[in-house]
């Protein structure tokens, strides 16, 4: 499967797993964000926008923050952000979509592949936008190259079989970082999520922690493909209270529950066993 992540706009979904924002200390950021129902995700946020600055005049007129043009994905490592003290693994399922455009608006999202994602985040107060805690430059996020084709985007499709597991390796010990969670248990999934994302990509306003991402997409020339990490799972008690340090490894694994159990996945990781191609693995070293 061929894809070029550097040419895609990439996004995350905030608040698509009940309880995650509270554990991350970010629920207060969204206290004034109105949603159609209590379980609805709060917002979409940009992590990378592939736009070019070709002149000083264009630079002055651009709407996309310059830092979002820095490609942040690295499959092998996370470079610790300078001056920060708390970064946390965010284990997610990420999906690559084909995009159909109509006069600068997203008309259709067609899911192609999914894989393990680390939407790694800085935990700090005072950031006005979610994106400011997400992209701090080179090697600040992760997306596995071990992708799995999507047959259909509903409860009868392949995604309904998959679970998200995550771990931190410190020294010789493997710690469970996020709760072992079914992809189907996202608050919004399949057609409901698809419709919600199209609505946000076209009409989300620049208010509170959210941004007008449609203006960014248009500035990037309406990319033919986008990648969206659809939400972080809840943390275990260990994951909620332990932040990543230099030398640690963060691991996110998406696996089919009808073939593997969580214990088999963790044991395989501890023993250094390679999984089959139906498992998406993202393993990153934390580098100071």
Query: Residue 19 has what pLDDT?
Result: 58
For residue 177, pLDDT beyond 90: yes
This prediction's pTM: 0.94
In angstroms, rounded to a whole number, what is the distance separating the alpha carbons of residues 2 and 38? 38
Instruction: Identify the structural domains of the chain with CATH numbers, from first to last.
Output: 5-161+188-232 (3.90.850)
- What is the number of other CB atoms lying within 10 angstroms of the CB of residue 142? 28
The C-alpha torsion from 196 through 193 and 98 to 94, rounded to 10°, is: 120
DSSP 33: -
What pLDDT digit, counting tens, does each position of 86-135 carry?
A: 999 999 999 999 999 999 999 999 999 999 999 999 998 777 899 999 99
Distance, CA of 234 to chain centre:
14
- What is the number of other CB atoms lying within 10 angstroms of the CB of residue 224? 12
Query: For residue 215, which phi and psi values (nearest 5 degrees)?
Result: -65, -35
Query: Residue 30 has what pLDDT?
Result: 65
> Residues near 69 by Cβ (< 8 Å), separated by ≥ 6?
48, 49, 50, 51, 52, 53
Q: Are 78 and 118 in contact (CB under 8 A)?
A: yes
In angstroms, rounded to a whole number, what is the distance separating the alpha carbons of residues 163 and 278? 12
Query: Residue 197 has what pLDDT?
Result: 98
Cite the beta strand spans of 5-161 per DSSP E: 9-14, 43-48, 77-79, 87-88, 91-102, 105-118, 121-122, 142-143, 148-149
**35 or 4: which leads in pLDDT:** 4
In angstroms, rounded to a whole number, what is the distance separating the alpha carbons of residues 108 and 197? 10
In angstroms, rounded to a whole number, what is the distance separating the alpha carbons of residues 235 and 116? 16
What pLDDT digit, counting tens, does each position of 31-71 carry?
A: 666 777 888 999 999 999 998 665 555 566 789 999 999 99
The H-or-E segment that residue 193 falls in is helix 190-203
Q: Which residue has the tokens 């309904």?
A: 160
């Amino acid at each position: 499967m061929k894809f070029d992540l550097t040419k895609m706009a990439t996004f995350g979904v905030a608040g698509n797993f009940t309880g995650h924002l509270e554990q991350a200390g970010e629920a207060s950021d969204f206290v004034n964000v109105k949603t159609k129902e209590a379980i609805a995700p709060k917002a979409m946020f940009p992590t990378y926008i592939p736009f070019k600055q070709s002149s000083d005049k264009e630079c002055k007129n651009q709407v996309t923050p310059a830092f979002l043009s820095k490609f942040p994905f690295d499959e092998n490592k996370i470079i610790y952000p300078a001056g920060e003290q708390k970064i946390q693994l965010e284990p997610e399922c990420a999906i690559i979509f084909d995009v159909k455009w109509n006069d600068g608006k997203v008309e259709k999202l067609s899911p192609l592949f999914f894989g393990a994602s680390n939407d790694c985040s800085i935990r700090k107060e005072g950031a006005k936008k979610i994106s400011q805690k997400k992209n701090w430059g080179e090697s600040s996020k992760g997306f596995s190259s071990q992708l799995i084709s999507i047959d259909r985007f509903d409860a009868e499709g392949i995604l309904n079989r998959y679970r998200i597991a995550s771990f931190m390796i410190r020294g010789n010990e493997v710690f469970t970082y996020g709760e072992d969670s079914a992809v189907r248990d996202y608050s919004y999934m399949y057609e409901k999520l698809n419709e919600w994302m199209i609505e946000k990509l076209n009409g989300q306003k620049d208010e509170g922690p959210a941004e007008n991402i449609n203006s960014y997409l248009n500035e990037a020339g309406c990319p033919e493909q986008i990648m969206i990490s659809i939400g972080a799972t809840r943390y275990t008690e260990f994951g909620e209270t332990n932040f990543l340090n230099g030398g640690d490894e963060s691991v996110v694994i998406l696996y089919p529950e009808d073939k593997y159990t969580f214990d088999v996945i963790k044991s395989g990781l501890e023993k250094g066993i390679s999984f089959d191609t139906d498992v998406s693995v993202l393993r990153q070293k934390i580098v100071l």
